[in-house]
Structure 1
């Protein structure tokens, strides 16, 4: 099970949200490049970049992310999401050096784009974000609810060229309530492609429980930045057996 540190950016700063709500940002690094340097020094093999402003419809962080990807791409693998609303934007990020792109809203609105993107860059570079709240998928940076069932949607897109699914509980994000283990396990059992889980991780005990669900990996943000989990765990072999 991979343990992947998250670098979420809003207003040019590294932040964490509470339950995915805009306006709840807490700043952990004024300069996200400092966060990037920190994780590279700690030996992270993969980092999870999220453009929160992009998810909310702004491209003001675009140059910053381009700089970060260029700096990181030959040292650590980068997966990036937030506001990728076109095939061209996704391909551009892969060409820039990102290892994987994460698309959510785009995939919900136009599932066929997954197949088109897979034909362009390969499934191994594509993560489909399924963010859920109240048993339904949320889109547009968690600001708009849909009537889509996350498990039915996962079945649909898993055969369309998606390489991975990022399964995120909006209500658990940044809330220290613990991961939604029941639904995570259900998602692992629903599709044949690897699942990454996000939301709610509080401590190493949560990581142990997540490992038992057989997820491929977990995204950790606030628990790292609040020092609830020792940074050395990203290199801890017992989670990568």
Structure 2
């Protein structure tokens, strides 16, 4: 199972949100490049970059995000999301050096673009984000609710050509309430597409349970930055990243 540290960027800083709500930012690094360098020193093999302002429709972080991607090396694979609204946006990030791109709003609004993008960059480089609340998938940086049921739509994602599903419980994100194990297990058992779980991870026990459920990866932000989980966990054999 992959353990993937997250670097979320808002207003040029590395932050975490509470339940995805704008205005609840806790700043952990004034400069996200310092966060990147920290994870480099720790020996992380994969990182999760999210442009929060991009997801909300702003280009504020575009340059810093591109700089961060350029400063990763062959030892670190990055997956990037937030505000990727077009096929060209996604292709440019892959060309810049991102290993995976994460699309959410575009996938919900124009699912045919998943297939087009998969054919262009390869399914192994494409993640579809299913961020859900009250049984429906949210879009536009979690600010709008679609009519899509995550499980029904999740079953189609592999057919469209995406290689991974990023499955996030919005109400658990940054709340230290624990992952939504019931729905994560339901998703794992409903689809053949590998699942990356995010939201609510508090401790190593949560990771053990996700491992037992069978998720491909776990994205961790606040639990690392608040020292609830030690970064040394990245060295544990069962959590060493697959396919690196």
Deviations 1:30-63 (A, max 9, x none): 0000000000110000000000000000011111
**Counterpart in the other structure of 1:4:** 4
**Counterpart in the other structure of 1:81:** 81
State the shift of 1:157 in Å: 1.8
Measured in 1, the distance between the counterparts of 2:198 and 2:40 equals 21
**Counterpart in the other structure of 2:111:** 111
State the shift of 1:239 in Å: 2.6
State the shift of 1:83 in Å: 0.3
**Counterpart in the other structure of 1:139:** 139
Unaligned runs of 5+ residues in structure 2 are: none
| 1:73 and 1:98 in contact (8 A); partners too | no
Measured in 2, the distance between the counterparts of 1:32 and 1:75 equals 19
Deviations 1:190-214 (A, max 9, x none): 1111000000001111111111110
Measured in 2, the distance between the counterparts of 1:44 and 1:205 equals 20
Measured in 1, the distance between the counterparts of 2:73 and 2:218 equals 21
SS of corresponding position for 1:3:
strand
Measured in 2, the distance between the counterparts of 1:219 and 1:203 equals 12
SS of corresponding position for 1:159:
helix
RMSD: 0.9
Greater alpha carbon shift after TM alignment, 73-82 vs 200-209:
73-82
SS of corresponding position for 1:102:
strand
Measured in 2, the distance between the counterparts of 1:210 and 1:113 equals 30
**Counterpart in the other structure of 2:218:** 218
**Counterpart in the other structure of 1:33:** 33
Measured in 2, the distance between the counterparts of 1:80 and 1:15 equals 15
Question: TM-score scaled by structure 1?
Answer: 0.98
